[in-house]
Amino acid sequence: MKDLDLLRQVLGRKKVDWLGYSGGTWMGAYFATYFPKSLDKIVLDSNAAFTGPWQPVFDDWGMGFERRFRVDFTPWVAKYDSIYHLGKTGEEVRQTYERTRAKLAQQPVTLPEGTYNAVRLDLLLFQGQYSKHSFDSVARKFAELAGVVPTGLKAQASYPDASNGTLYSIICNDTPFHGGRRYLERDAVQDGAKWPLMGYYQIMGPCAYWDRPNVQLKHPNGSGVDSTLMVQSVRDPATPLEGAQRAHQSFRNSKMLTVQDEGDHGIYGLDNACVNDVVERYLVDRVNPTSDSTCPGVPLPEPGQQQAGVLEQARELAVRVGW
């Protein structure tokens, strides 16, 4: 935080604005807590539950990814069964996933970009839930692994392995982690039964063994902050609505723009004109919102539709490091 405020001083600015996505909402909330007079307009998009510890944020992942997977992804794949041949209903697609996962657990498959086992299939589907524009490429790779050749399929390259060092140095150091190995085992069984896609995974598991320094950060509550605009989709998998609402309720002078019938992680600056208008009225025209508001989401694309741009590329990089 001190480094960021030093950068503000070097730039000769009395105040700066903040636009943060995902983990950037956490950083923005803490920057506002330590240097509330240094910030003017604050936009937090796809919000971690930044008024509490990290642990509940990742505890919500099983729920968030399962909801996105079942409500958006599998019905969309089923709608285009003539292309992917993975099932004519969302439940049939989900059952194909279960069968494919069991097959890969018994016999991994090596493709030009690497070897796929059950865990890598999970990670493929996990990464695909962040953006609706990933659905097509993920569904095609899923179909390839299921032993089906989709119409017009070309081999899709997957992400290379990415270092998680930065991720764990933040989430294991910033706030305490409660529980040891037995807790992790019990929690995995409980969450996995409810949310099998990601519930079995203990994303914060390494924090149970972390030699954490005695870090005592201030508690973000919005004190001294003039205004904050939070943008949140209702089916965001990585930073679910429930956590964002908790943060909103506890962060003074915040207003939330809720994007209905939407599950993308990262909304502003992409293809939602309503969201862009609301945010830019605040960020560009300098008009503070007076109440919470809503925007409609963007419909799911047809297979083959792509979205390009700097922010989409940034979102892909964020997915690679687990945000």
- What phi-psi label fits residue 222: left (phi over 0), alpha (psi between -120 and 50 degrees) or beta? left
> Does 124 lie in the same domain as 80?
yes
Whether 248 shows a pLDDT value over 80: the answer reads yes
Give residue 315's pLDDT.
Answer: 58
Rounded-to-integer distance, Cα 71 and Cα 113, Å: 30
pLDDT in tens, 274-317: 999 999 999 999 999 999 999 999 999 999 876 654 455 555 55
Whether residue 309 is contained in a domain is answered as no
Domain encompassing residue 180: 165-209
258 lies in a domain? no
- Does 186 score more than 50 pLDDT? yes
pLDDT in tens, 82-134: 999 999 999 999 999 999 999 999 999 998 888 999 999 999 999 999 999 99
pLDDT tens digits, 201-234: 999 999 999 999 998 999 999 999 999 999 999 9
In a domain, 188, yes or no: yes
Contact between residue 17 and residue 39 where contact means Cβ atoms under 8 Å apart: yes
- 191 falls within a domain: yes
Examine the domain organization and report whether 141 and 109 are in the same domain.
yes
Residue 155 pLDDT greater than 60, yes or no: no
* Shared-domain flag, residues 182 and 134: no
Does residue 169 form part of some domain?
Answer: yes
Residue 59: closest CA among 167, 150, 217, 171: 171
Q: Does residue 133 fall inside a structural domain?
A: yes
Answer with the one of 145, 180, 196 that is the final residue of a domain.
Answer: 145
Q: Measured between alpha carbons, how far is residue 255 from residues 97, 222, 231 in Å?
A: 39, 11, 9
Q: Which of 197, 243, 184 is nearest to 23 (CA)?
A: 243
Pair (172, 138) in one structural domain: no
CB 45 within 8 A of CB 268: yes
107 occurs within a structural domain: yes
Written as six digits, the tokens of 41 are 């307009």
Counting the structural domains of the chain, the total is 2
Mean pLDDT of 133-153: 83
Per cent of the chain over pLDDT 90 is 85
Report the interhelical angle of 118-128 vs 135-145 (nearest 10°): 160
Question: Whole-prediction pTM value?
Answer: 0.89
Distance spanning both ends of the chain, measured CA to CA = 19
Q: Can you tell me the distance from the alpha carbon of 189 to that of 187, in angstroms, rounded to the nearest whole number?
A: 5
266 part of a folded domain: no
